[in-house]
Structure 1
Amino acid sequence: MLATKADHVPSGPEWTHEVKWDGVRALAEVSPGGVGLWSRNLNQITTAWPDLLGFDLPSSDLLVDGEIIVLGERGTPDFRVLAERMHVRSARAAETLARRLPATYMVFDLLRLDGEDLTRLPLVERRARLTDLGLIGWAVPEAYDDGAMLLEATRQQGLEGVVSKRLSSPYRPGDRSPHWRKRAHRFRRSYVVGGWRPQEGTRDRLAALLVGEPTPDGLAYRGRVGSGISGRTSAMLAEAVSNLTRSTSPFDDIDGGVPRVDAVGTTWVDPVLVVDVDTHGLGYTRLRQPSYRGLRADLTPDDLPDQS
């Protein structure tokens, strides 16, 4: 069951609210043969997550829904770090990654228990029975009555957002339901321009910027921003960078530097321009779904705080 996008968090006693985790959705099925993990598209992903297996679970017949997360350096879920593990199919490689990047399974719904299909029950009953299981090794995240409070708390902590669920809702596998609503944050920060890339098939139409942020070690690469750049904006930015071309990257090799896929075809520029960018979440090494918002003629790189 999937949530629909919302522009606000619903209020009222008929709703409960959870943190929107920056992870990968997964079903876990416990049977006498062991534990199996399945993606949202029902592809088996058990091999990739050995650290989520082997716990003393309360039943040999159990089906739950949840989110797999991996914490980044700042102690918050980091999808870029998680992505290193998502597509691993080698058991040996998965064991190595599990030691370096341990995962947590955040279980938020109980669909079957001891042969009983619970999907027709209202969420409030499924949630109560999930809590009563006393899971060990897998986490059951808190649910909150006050959605507005949770939205502000997740914003301050740099988390992805909030999922609101109607307490009376059954679980309908595969459906995108209006009874589950997700409200993701957008964050705006200022970044330094270090390069630009042309539109595919052209040599001079500016289609994306490569941006970074100042750190004590230099300019750390944070990602490529293409959304929000078109038409007049592209022409304006092209003019702004026209006299700033340089032969080498201004980014230091912090956090791995600029990936080859971003570097090839890029025109490097002196890091003197500052732009505002909207993005999902904070605390990530790379911007998530960034969108260009404007050129900051009132700021220089020296005006930006060290955000490392």
Structure 2
Amino acid sequence: MVTPSSSHEPSSARAPLRPMLATAADRVPTGADWVHEVKWDGMRVLVDVRGGEVRVWSRNERDVTASYPELAGLGEAYDDMLLDAEVVALDGGRPSFHALTERMHVSDRRKAVRLAATRPVTLMVFDLLRLFGADLTDQPWSARRGLLERLDLTGPTWQVPAVHDDGEHLLAATAEQGLEGIVSKRRSATYAAGRRSSDWRKSAHKVTHSVVVGGWRPEVGSAGRLGAVLVGLPDGAGGWRYAGRVGSGLAGTAGQALAMRLRPLSRDDSPFDDDVPSIDAVGTTWVQPRVVIEVRALELTGQHRLRQPAYLGVRTDLVPADLEEVEDA
């Protein structure tokens, strides 16, 4: 039985823990041991509530509280809890990562408050890791979920989405609705903080990739404006394999904002360990591989090249070291 604690420690300057991660599923697991949830196309966060104060942490332990002021009201719901969740931006009723990028990069609270009025986010809460000072990570998923549902966390910008017994039916339904996919979870599984576990398995519809930027090319007819970026994926040996050139989606302010991030990172040579075709390399300004972006592509070919990639936004919630995990997921 979880009971309230009588006192509260001040919020830590560090994230309370790192989130548990899912592995890729070659098929949807079936049977009574498994439960299934919608996979949201958003930003994974941990929400730490203590004594009325709310702090929001990204999966790479960045404090992103200022970016999402509409979540501050969770401090009035309960006095002490730690939630695992996904921040999503809904566009026409569907999650849109592109729309979320308008919010992810905002650190000025006043600007974030203005954006919250016109482009609000929704927190999709799917796990409860601490309640009233009690650590719940060693409890099975079924126990944590039962407590989460009893909290009745329904608010103006947060909710607890339903879970489902039939994963194959849910996967088909998410495909019809244009959603990202599903996550299947073993009911008896404890919470493996900071680890990737086969107790959580994800099945995705969309072909999206997190890639590192290794260079940029100017827009045709303009030496100063960014027109395309050259991107890479982990090569499995600690380096980067060239994955192609991305130009779609970079027109206008999107390209200008990305250029501002890349210009201070210039270097003399390519950061990719393999050869970049001369048609892409000539005229490229090489950069240190520090900026992670999200792209959508028709496929990743057998030669590890992105087919018809389009830029979606910068992944400020990821660093290059995270990409090995993302590609393995």
Aligned to 2:111: 93
Q: Any unmatched runs of 5+ in structure 1?
A: 188-198, 203-222, 228-250, 268-285, 294-308
C-alpha root-mean-square deviation of aligned residues, in Å? 3.6
Q: Give the number of equivalent residue pairs.
A: 221
Question: What is the TM-score normalised by the length of structure 1?
Answer: 0.63
Which of residues 51, 60, 70 is equivalent to 1:41? 60
Q: Which amino acid aligns with 2:132?
A: D
* Deviation (angstroms), 1:290: 3.8
2: CA distance, partners of 1:34 / 1:146: 38
2: CA distance, partners of 1:3 / 1:176: 5
Deviation readout 1:63-97 (Å, 9 max, x if unpaired) = 1100000012x320000110111121101111111
Q: Any unmatched runs of 5+ in structure 2?
A: 1-19, 208-213, 218-227, 233-247, 260-278, 281-293, 302-329
2: CA distance, partners of 1:29 / 1:287: 30
1: CA distance, partners of 2:229 / 2:45: 29
On the 8 A contact 2:51/2:75 being kept in 1, the answer is no
Aligned to 1:113: 131
On the 8 A contact 1:38/1:44 being kept in 2, the answer is yes
Question: What is the TM-score normalised by the length of structure 2?
Answer: 0.59
Which of residues 161, 166, 171 is equivalent to 2:191? 171
Q: Is structure 2 residue 145 aligned with structure 1 residue 153?
A: no
* Deviation (angstroms), 1:225: 11
Aligned to 1:78: 96
1: CA distance, partners of 2:51 / 2:121: 24
3-state DSSP class of the match of 1:53?
helix
Aligned to 2:151: 133
Aligned to 2:200: 180
2: CA distance, partners of 1:201 / 1:114: 50
Question: Deviation above 3 Å: which 4+ runs of structure 1?
Answer: 55-58, 199-202, 223-227, 255-262
Q: Is structure 2 residue 124 aligned with structure 1 residue 103?
A: no
Residues 1:11 and 1:88: Cα distance change in structure 2 (over 3 Å) = same
Moved more, 134-143 or 15-24: 134-143
Q: Which amino acid aligns with 2:60?
A: N
On the 8 A contact 1:55/1:136 being kept in 2, the answer is no
Residues 1:120 and 1:225: Cα distance change in structure 2 (over 3 Å) = same
Deviation readout 1:211-247 (Å, 9 max, x if unpaired) = xxxxxxxxxxxx99999xxxxxxxxxxxxxxxxxxxx
Deviation readout 1:108-155 (Å, 9 max, x if unpaired) = 000111111111110011001000001132200110000000000000
* Deviation (angstroms), 1:291: 2.8
Q: Which amino acid aligns with 1:59?
A: Y
Residues 1:86 and 1:127: Cα distance change in structure 2 (over 3 Å) = same
Which of residues 58, 61, 65 is equivalent to 2:84? 65
Max radius of gyration: which structure? 1
Q: Which amino acid aligns with 2:84?
A: D
Identical columns (%): 47
Q: Which amino acid aligns with 1:155?
A: A
On the 8 A contact 1:225/1:292 being kept in 2, the answer is no
